[in-house]
Amino acid sequence: MNIKIDPEFQNLIPPLSADELNQLEQNIISEGKCRDTVKVWKDIIIDGYHRYEICQKHGIPFEVQNINFASRKDAILWIIEHQLGRRNLSSAMRIELVYRRAKLPRKTIAAQANVSKHTVYKYMKIRKTANSALLESVKKGQKKIDEAYKGLTLTTKTVTKLSELTPDKNSPAYVKAVFENIEKIKKYYQFVSDNAKRITEATDVEKRLIAQYKAVRGLTGYLGSMM
């Protein structure tokens, strides 16, 4: 059988952590076989990607179970339902799966994903505005939804207004604005720095904020010590 991997199907299945993947690999190697079947639809994997890759890597035999669906849509729905039954899903991934299952009202998504409406709102905001690296870290549970959302919303009206000022150490208004908002600038820059791709994918406002941060570090010795 020429087993295939469909990117859209695969993206519906949360990857295992390094420890989980290592443990699964050791279990399969020690038993010399794959205990669970690799499930496919029309030779396309719908469950068992990790088992399949491990068995292929070590030349370990595995059984294949064919499941018939009337359409590709039905196969996708089966994958989503199957994944929603997992206990170790991050809140973000649970929302993502429910969202993909149907573009429902936020209240319905929250109820089905077993999270609050506010959590759904924050995740959808991240999904819409965050870079791919940050979104993936949230899906994997490496970064909490609240933490990522706060990082995205650090660009408050005050900080945005500051970003529109021209960096000029001789401008009293600029120096005053910097001192009044230094903590917000520091937090925002730290958030950006923690997400490497965020630097290259930054919006114009974000780039101005980053430039502001770098510029104000050398304003005075006192300010420099604060950074």
Q: 67, 81 in Cβ contact below 8 A?
A: no
Rounded mean pLDDT of the chain?
Answer: 78
Residue 145 has pLDDT above 50, yes or no: yes
| Model confidence pLDDT, tens digit, residues 39-49 | 999 999 999 99
Contacts of 116 (CB under 8 A, 6+ apart): 110
**Confidence label for 156 from pLDDT (cuts 50, 70 and 90):** very low
Domains along the chain with CATH numbers: 1-71 (3.90.1530.10), 154-226 (no CATH)
Among 192, 194, 101, which Cα is nearest to 142's? 194
Q: For the chain, what's the residue count? A: 227
177-223 tens-digit pLDDT: 666 666 666 666 666 566 545 555 556 655 666 666 565 555 444 34
Is the predicted pLDDT of residue 142 greater than 80, yes or no? Answer: yes
The yes-or-no verdict on residue 170 having pLDDT over 70 is: no
User: What is the rounded CA–CA span in Å between residue 47 and residue 76?
Assistant: 11
d(CA 188, CA 192): 6
